[in-house]
Amino acid sequence: MDIARLAGVNPSTVSRALSGSQSVTEETRNRIAAIAKANGYVANHNARMLRSRQAHQILVIVPNIAAFSHPDVILGVEEALEEHGIGVIIGSTKGNEERENALARQLITGAADGLILLNGRVPEEFQGLPQYAKRIVAVSRPVDFPGVPFIGIDNESAALEATQYLISLGRSRILHLSGPRESSIFAARAKGYHAAMAEAGLEAHAEVMHLPFFTITSGRQALRDILTRRHLPDAVLCASDELAFGAIQSCREVGIKVPEQIAFVGFDNHPVSEAFSPPLTTVSVPRRDLGYVGAQTLLRSISDDLSETQAQILPYELIVRASCGRNRW
Amino acid sequence: MDIARLAGVNPSTVSRALSGSQSVTEETRNRIAAIAKANGYVANHNARMLRSRQAHQILVIVPNIAAFSHPDVILGVEEALEEHGIGVIIGSTKGNEERENALARQLITGAADGLILLNGRVPEEFQGLPQYAKRIVAVSRPVDFPGVPFIGIDNESAALEATQYLISLGRSRILHLSGPRESSIFAARAKGYHAAMAEAGLEAHAEVMHLPFFTITSGRQALRDILTRRHLPDAVLCASDELAFGAIQSCREVGIKVPEQIAFVGFDNHPVSEAFSPPLTTVSVPRRDLGYVGAQTLLRSISDDLSETQAQILPYELIVRASCGRNRW
DNA sequence: TTGAAAGCGATACCAG
DNA sequence: CTGGTATCGCTTTCAA
């Protein structure tokens, strides 16, 4: 590097000066910094990373970046990493396993130093490679891979509480609209829902509908089908706010009154839920914190001073709004 | 690399085989590929990139990843790049100039091969470095930097058309709720709005409110203020769907009827706008296509076969829903 | 088609 | 505190 020549020092001194090493006179450091700046010099990323064996990048794998809940998590991740000068790479998989593996390779090849999984699954590529566990954390959705920490909420308990709330309002024919059955997060919510129903002696009315997607469109279509039934539910617990938005839309379209005829509860507390009509009662998930804590956990895990924390459960909160009406009795 | 030893060939042959070079026997290539796979070998990313002077990564700079309109654009970018085996890095700046420059350095240091700007501004860092123009494209919001192509919609014309639509319904006291005045995209929309008002002889009623953010909260607060006025507008053209959601919420809270008393038009056609109550009339922006075309343009520009395309204007569409009611006359 | 050797641009280690 | 040198892991050029 010719900054060395210009400064009349050895390249290694330039390197030390620019990376803020202590073992360089402040005077020398300043002089080199000035020369570098004047010449618009910045160290080549790939060369540094090759030598120092760090990418200074963390990869976040999301199933779908357009889903309502992920951007806020990513925001939290960014905030945590920014403080450490670490960049964030995003990859969305859309459930495509091939794509998942391609992204996984970013970790294996050293393009990223760590992985934050929001998709609830460790890519196949890591099977039989337990040494990568310490470079991976799962956020929002747990994964089945030994040694990978999880940061999320207690979904079972949240669904339980939400269902109990509906029951406390006098609702009994409560339907649970959920996401893919295979996803542990939806399984947990369904479990909490069933527990509450059973506890209230309403098991006979319990019904879980697992949908392949938890989008607005998906919720809309599901309710269209349900509204053709002879006996309508009097409440619906939705596994995402998006499902609830679509579902409520369908009700409106056929003149079913919300919350009078059917009450709705969502999951996420997306910003829209407050502006929606009726404002949506929903389980608030600390998305940003999940991302923030997840990133911090990852950094600690990578640098080896993680005291075997296997799961961090953050608090959720049931936000009561008008979509469930008031107590009927 | 010991794959070479295992295969009994020279490292260079392994390199050639794995990168699919033609000048290697198919037989040799297959044999090496098999051995590499069996041993879980993948070439180190940073070393490859150092040598070949490519990062195979594109950086997308967004002002705020939680804004409703960006994720879809990113989706389009990902789709376009995935086909070329190029990864996507995301950085959100939250308007922080220092953060912008830090991200810019990713391009300068070679951590990324190109830059897609969704924030309407080329980072300071590139001032006086025109050679980077060919590695940058601006999507959604144009930037002021010679040689940087722009992919977006005709905002002025879209706002003009939306305003004309409101006028055609008999509305006359139309307010325009917009984002930061400094942003050219909002300036363009305001211009179209003014043109329509002037054309209809309603210039006297024209009023543009520039808000620092175009979020739900921002729209909600703005309308709260406006609704205390003696003379209410009879329509509001919002520069984003989010503003509209918040604004309509405020109307609902004080009992103002939408669309009877005030009609609303949004911008973006976010998925929620259809499920909202009332369903929101809005300008549909082809967000995904913008991202897709933007990424393609960038790739062509980087590889030098860009025929000096300076702007690609994609079609928008006014989606008419119930938030403006029907013609009053 | 393959091998040998020379870097890519930095950092790290060992002397001084 | 600074200089010299080996080296990170791969690709590429030049010969054979």
Q: What is the pLDDT of residues B230-265, one digit of tens each?
A: 999 999 999 999 999 999 999 999 999 999 999 999
pLDDT of residue A132: 94
Model pTM score: 0.91
Q: For strand C, give the nucleotides within 7 A of a protein CB.
A: 1-5, 7-13
Give the span between the Cα atoms of B324 and A57, in whole angstroms: 47
Look-up of token digits 């309403």 = A202
Task: Tell me the fold of A55-152+287-314.
Answer: Rossmann fold (3.40.50)
Q: Is A93 in contact with A117 (CB distance < 8 Å)?
A: no
Nearest residue: Cα versus C1' of D5: A12
**Residue A234, SS3 per DSSP:** coil
Q: Given CB atoms, is B155 within the 8 Å cutoff of chain A?
A: no
pLDDT of residue B327: 52
User: Protein B43 CA to nucleic acid D16 C1', in Å?
Assistant: 27
Query: Residue A242's closest chain B neighbor by CA?
Result: B272
Task: pLDDT band for A328, please (50, 70, 90 cuts).
Answer: very low
Q: For strand D, give the nucleotides within 7 A of a protein CB.
A: 1-5, 7-13
Q: Given CB atoms, is A130 within the 8 Å cutoff of chain B?
A: no
Give the span between the Cα atoms of B128 and B145, in whole angstroms: 10
Through-space distance between the first and last CA atoms of chain B, rounded to whole angstroms: 80
Look-up of token digits 């960014």 = A78
Q: Is A159 in contact with A203 (CB distance < 8 Å)?
A: no
Contacts of B84 (CB under 8 A, 6+ apart): B299
Asked if A216 and B272 come within 8 Å (Cβ–Cβ), the reply is yes
A22 pLDDT higher than 90:
no
Residue of B46, B249, B252 with shortest CB distance to A55: B46
| Chain A interface disruption, residue of B54, B65, B214, B245, most A CBs within 10 A | B65
Among A239, A167, A253, smallest CA distance to A203 is for: A167
For A41-84, what is each residue's pLDDT tens digit? 889 988 988 998 888 899 999 998 889 999 999 999 999 998 88
For A303-316, what is each residue's pLDDT tens digit? 876 666 679 999 99
Q: Given CB atoms, is B123 within the 8 Å cutoff of chain A?
A: no
CA distance, residue A167 to nearest chain B CA (Å)? 27
Query: What is the 3-class SS of B153-183, one letter each residue?
Result: ECHHHHHHHHHHHHHHCCCCCEEEEECCCCC
- Identify each DSSP E strand in B75-160 by its residue range: 87-92, 114-117, 136-139, 150-153
Q: Give residues 34 to 63 of B whose Cβ lies within 8 Å of A.
A: 40, 42-47, 49-50, 55, 57
Look-up of token digits 């325009």 = B176
For A220-232, what is each residue's pLDDT tens digit? 999 999 999 999 9
User: Protein B12 CA to nucleic acid D15 C1', in Å?
Assistant: 14
pLDDT of residue A26: 87
Two structure tokens written together for B155: 């905002």
Among B321, B271, B274, B314, smallest CA distance to B296 is for: B314
Torsion angle (degrees, nearest 10) of CA B8, B13, B18, B21? -150
A329 pLDDT higher than 50:
no
Among A96, A94, A152, A142, smallest CA distance to A122 is for: A142
Listed in sequence order, the DSSP H helices in B255-308 are 272-275, 287-302
Q: Is B60 in contact with B31 (CB distance < 8 Å)?
A: no
pLDDT of residue B328: 45
pLDDT of residue A45: 87
Torsion angle (degrees, nearest 10) of CA B263, B267, B271, B277? -10
The rounded percent of chain A whose pLDDT value lies above 90 is 71
Strand order in the sheet with B57-62: A311-314, A150-153, A136-139, A114-117, A57-62, A87-92, B87-92, B57-62, B114-117, B136-139, B150-153, B311-314
Q: Is B108 in contact with B125 (CB distance < 8 Å)?
A: yes
B155-284 sits in which CATH class? Answer: alpha beta
User: Protein B300 CA to nucleic acid D13 C1', in Å?
Assistant: 28
Per-residue pLDDT of chain B (329 residues; tens, 9 = 90+): 678 888 888 989 999 998 877 888 988 888 988 999 888 888 998 898 898 888 888 999 999 888 999 999 999 999 999 888 888 888 888 888 888 998 898 899 998 999 999 999 999 999 989 989 999 999 999 999 999 999 999 999 999 999 999 999 999 999 999 999 989 999 999 999 999 999 999 999 999 999 999 999 999 999 999 999 999 999 999 999 999 999 999 999 999 999 999 999 999 999 999 999 999 999 999 999 999 999 999 999 998 766 666 799 999 999 999 999 875 44
Over residues A108-117, mean pLDDT: 94
Judge residue A235's burial from the number of C-beta atoms within 10 Å of its C-beta, 0-12 exposed, 13-18 middle, 19 or more buried.
Answer: buried
Among A176, A172, A143, A170, smallest CA distance to A158 is for: A176
Asked if A272 and B272 come within 8 Å (Cβ–Cβ), the reply is yes
| Higher pLDDT among residues B87 and A177, named by residue | A177
Residue of B43, B49, B72 with shortest CB distance to A46: B49
pLDDT of residue B49: 87
Distance of CA B288 to CAs A66, A176, B103, Å?
Answer: 10, 32, 23
Query: Residue A107's closest chain B neighbor by CA?
Result: B45
User: Protein B12 CA to nucleic acid C4 C1', in Å?
Assistant: 9
Kindly list the domain boundaries of chain A, sorted by start residue. 2-43, 55-152+287-314, 155-284
